Structure 1
């Protein structure tokens, strides 16, 4: 899926994984990131090399999936990937998603990645400081992650105290917390003061995952699930191609909604922010997205048709001495729309 979304960013790439039902002392979160040339290729080379090294050094792992899951990175159930198009901060490995927030309590571990621009990042940063926190940097992703993490911590501690009052042991309480976590409530509190366009995805250490979309639907997000997988991506064609699904089987996540993938397989879709007037980002749909999406194709073609009358005025209707072309390649479909409109209008002239 990362390779299929290569068009969305070449400044860096990363992915993280979470293993379910690991024993204490076993690593259950792993991450690979790169900001070098060909970052997608590099992160999978790093991961595959680690896997091959482990298999080569320990023959007992071959054919034993349970042991492989215990010993080898990224043999896991949950994955979160990201390609970076830098708009804030430095283009270095440290700026590449996903970001990790680690804790000795499994349900307070958080991995976050997203497609977003917060217009009030300074305000959100100051909110964290006012809580007594000391953020390690002012990057928008760290601010968003720590914002979610703060309310996640609050929810975990509240459930833990309630369970202890009910006589549940400390060890058993830790196992039950994940089942009782109200993630939509956590996200509702966390996103209350967010101002901007965003699709934020995250994974929690115990095995739940989530995606939340802004109230105006500025950033795109699509969702598909069947009996075997649940997947969310920024573009519909990626899901169609990788999972061999039909256009109509993939749903757009509604603005202001979150999708929660519970560890037990249950899927929750819930509105947490009142939807505003939809304002899909034209840069996302006209420039970033793959033209193989049926909706994107028609939108781009219509764009070309709409701009042609203005082009005619700009060239003083001198079609005979004008050469038409397009830049970049993603403008090809708009060019077709422009040509079609030209054919219609020139018949009138």
Structure 2
């Protein structure tokens, strides 16, 4: 993606299923779990830019010993920071290697030497980026079975409702955010489960010490999650640790946010992305399982691992943007899907260049569009091969050696046109010289285009705001003097805000929305804007289940191509000489390429949860009323 779009968080959970001594003997270090956690977090660094944290729970320590360690950072290098803290505790004993490498001593004396680990990479879509908002967050208690640690990849559309329900329970939440609200909601039902079991075991005549053990053994995590999540409206993959040693990861019933796990007799691992687990543990793709939508993976203190349904699974609406851009492209399925997205664009691309592939150079916007580019190349090469076949058949009676040479010498022309200067991007600030710096984030390879003759086709994963295209890419590509520039988006037009964890929350940010508004004004249909505003306002106080997405009416008067052409007009700087055209992926082809991930609300406005309709309408109201803020 040519634009920087921050997105959802990443989780990493590890449960060591053997004593620390086992890993010291087999792998030469009791730090096996910490090493794996570090790798899981580093390989998901793409998922969090605002902070990182980890929590460790030690089993079987005597009362008075610290059994939970937590470290968080919101610096520019948060993973390094938190593991520097971990290593300082270990290196304190570097002069005494016999102690530093003794698992029993480490567990008693060294922070983070435990059996249960939870790591998190945060991108903050709600609240601010203070350290208080960095996960894991914790609800502490002297009873281990009431202590809750939580980290997640989630965003709730109905924080107001959830907050009010906590207030109605008699609580006084310390903050108004989805993180605190979710923590307290789960914590409330964790307390209720503890209290119910306490009364049961007390009535049976057990001592308080014995009751603590019985609660830890029999606490029903699935029951707690069923009660806590019943009114959640959002996308979520939440990981939790209970102080006595139980752990869970629960996923929303639509499967909006991803979660995968692997388990053997040594270790259980959960992460937001499948290839991360494959790489870190060196296991095959089929050994890594997806946590099913609406289910919780539950890892008990005794090592038992199970999946339990906690919400009725709904029509699967896992996020297609995960597939297009955000997830690591090393996943076997995602890699093929991204190639297919590029391949399926071939007919529209050929039409845009009037089928003149011999006078066209094909390229991509680095770095993430490279896989879609490979698919586009395959599609055009297939077309060229069929054209060669057609010409040979048409001339077969009079085919000369010269004809054969001319036909088979036709090749697809591909070049690496744009070069991204990553170091320059990190230097860019918000000062007055920003625009000039942005204009130089990309450079070009000179001499690759025949001036005023060749078309230039460049593919990108998606076009969201279009800022980098307008301020940088189109101007730079125009320096090569192509006859035309065709920018291809492997995703469809982004028309509607996200409310489930990706930083695309304001309608005014989307160039497709700006294009539709401009077309309404140009064609004398401005009354539609006012009508939609009135309908949105009339729904503001309705229950979210009754709200309709009226923003769809902004787009309905125009064809897909009309909006694409208007986008091209809006994004083409006045000093660009080449003719600019923008080609978008179709919704139909998106679903062909990603058949198992049908969450397409960014493109269609079809939100999987009722809270989504409220968010999009509120976003439109904010736009009309001039409020530059998120709608949730």
Instruction: Give TM-score scaled by structure 1 length.
Output: 0.94
Distance verdict in 2 for CA 1:84–1:312, change over 3 Å: farther
- Note if 1:222 corresponds to 2:260: yes
1:48 aligned partner? 87
- Note if 1:113 corresponds to 2:151: yes
**CA drift at 1:140:** 1.2
- Note if 1:264 corresponds to 2:293: no
Distance, in Å, in 2 between the alignment partners of 1:145 and 1:45 is: 28
Distance, in Å, in 1 between the alignment partners of 2:116 and 2:64 is: 19
Distance verdict in 2 for CA 1:208–1:336, change over 3 Å: same
Q: Verify the 8 A CA contact 2:49 2:122 in the aligned structure 1.
A: yes
**CA drift at 1:346:** 4.3
Q: 1:34 aligns with which of 61, 65, 73?
A: 73
1:134 aligned partner? 172
Equivalent position SS for 1:2? helix
2:230 aligned partner? 192
Distance verdict in 2 for CA 1:62–1:344, change over 3 Å: closer
- After superposition, residues 174-323 of structure 1 pair within 5 angstroms as 174-315=212-353, 317=355, 319=357, 322-323=360-361
Distance, in Å, in 2 between the alignment partners of 1:256 and 1:65 is: 38
Q: 2:108 aligns with which of 70, 95, 105?
A: 70
User: 1:26-81, CA deviations, whole angstroms, 9 ceiling, x for partnerless residues?
Assistant: 1111111111112111110111112222x259888445422321221100000001
User: 1:192-247, CA deviations, whole angstroms, 9 ceiling, x for partnerless residues?
Assistant: 00111110000000000000111111111111100100111111111111111111
1:329 aligned partner? 367
Distance verdict in 2 for CA 1:315–1:124, change over 3 Å: farther
**CA drift at 1:338:** 1.3
Q: Verify the 8 A CA contact 2:135 2:151 in the aligned structure 1.
A: yes
Query: How many residue pairs get matched?
Result: 348
User: 1:10-40, CA deviations, whole angstroms, 9 ceiling, x for partnerless residues?
Assistant: 2211111111112111111111111111211
2:120 aligned partner? 82
Distance, in Å, in 2 between the alignment partners of 1:165 and 1:70 is: 36
User: 1:163-216, CA deviations, whole angstroms, 9 ceiling, x for partnerless residues?
Assistant: 011000112111210111010111011110011111000000000000011111
Equivalent position SS for 2:241? strand
Distance, in Å, in 1 between the alignment partners of 2:296 and 2:57 is: 20
Distance verdict in 2 for CA 1:317–1:122, change over 3 Å: farther
Distance, in Å, in 1 between the alignment partners of 2:161 and 2:144 is: 29
Distance, in Å, in 2 between the alignment partners of 1:314 and 1:149 is: 57
Distance, in Å, in 2 between the alignment partners of 1:345 and 1:116 is: 43
Deviates more, 1:85-94 or 1:180-189: 85-94
1:170 aligned partner? 208
Structure 2: gaps (5+ residues): 1-39, 388-632
Instruction: Give TM-score scaled by structure 2 length.
Output: 0.53
2:424 aligned partner? none
RMSD of aligned Cα (Å): 1.9
Distance, in Å, in 1 between the alignment partners of 2:281 and 2:101 is: 26
**CA drift at 1:312:** 4.0
